[in-house]
Structure 1
Amino acid sequence: MLSNNIDYFRQKPSDLAKTTIMLDHGYHPETIQAALEQVYPEIMTKIQFEVAAKLSKSDKAAQGKSGFVPIAVRWVIERSNSWVDRCKNLVKNFEWTLDHARAKLNLCFIRLMVKRLAT
């Protein structure tokens, strides 16, 4: 799966700014880096990993918040995942090929866009 979109980074010139990939504390950047370097050894000249900062209890209290506080950058991805979970066909049925799964995922987002345009 890592090699599917690696062409984007192969075509990206080295003199441009690195692409930052945000991770939360459940991921291990060293493991991901090792797997990517097996596919494309020069990848780390074009990307960098950043682990999202967690708010401490005192930081939450200073902001007047408690409990779960989403990190702004990571929230975009989690929100997209929740939208996909609303497509029951994607949740209940598992596809045999990546092409079929990708097509259903695209249909899910097209459905979401059409619903928003209709209102």
Structure 2
Amino acid sequence: MSKRYLEKEIERIELLLGKKIIIELSEKITPQRRAESKQENPGKQGFVAIAKRWIVERTNAWINQCRVLWKNCEGSIKTSQTKIRICAIGLILRRIA
């Protein structure tokens, strides 16, 4: 998808919702950031996960384990959001138990 197409879609959705939408893109992993990550973990060799990014990827992987979310056949965003919340609640309950 081109950036301009996304901008048009965002503008259309903003008009429908009556709210401003802000999308933040994650920064690219630069050689400097990679070096900083290795300095933070001096004993590790090879792949070193960057803290914040790892949290997001791990959470997405856990939520994707919910069978309800394997297919996206929902007609409304509210239904999808509710299913994601139910899966997240299930994850939390499993961690507590």
In the superposition, the TM-score normalised over structure 1's length comes to: 0.49
Superposed CA RMSD in Å reads 3.2
User: Given the superposition, is the C-alpha separation of residues 99 and 54 from structure 1 closer, same or farther in structure 2, using an over 3 Å criterion?
Assistant: same
CA distances 1:13-59 after superposition (whole Å, capped 9, x unpaired): xxxxxxxx671328xxxxxxxxxxxxxxxxxxxxxxxx8x6314xx4
Q: Give % identity.
A: 31
> Which structure dedicates a bigger proportion of its chain to helix?
2
Which amino acid in 2 is paired with 1:102?
Q
Instruction: Select the structure that is richer in strand.
Output: 1
Runs of 4+ in 1 over 4 A off after TM superposition: 1-4
The answer for unaligned runs of 5 or more in structure 1 is 10-20, 27-50
Partner of 1:24: 27
Residues 71-117 of structure 1, C-alpha deviation per residue, up to 9 Å, x if partnerless?
A: 11222211111111111220234322111100100000111111122
Secondary structure at the counterpart of residue 44 of structure 2:
coil
Higher relative contact order (CA 8 A, sep 6+): 1
Separation in structure 2 between the aligned mates of residue 54 and residue 80 of structure 1, nearest angstrom: 22
Give the TM-score normalised by the residue count of structure 2. 0.58
Counterpart contact for 1:84–1:108, Cα < 8 Å: yes
Q: Please, which runs of 5 or more residues in structure 2 have no aligned partner?
A: 1-9
Count of equivalent residues: 77
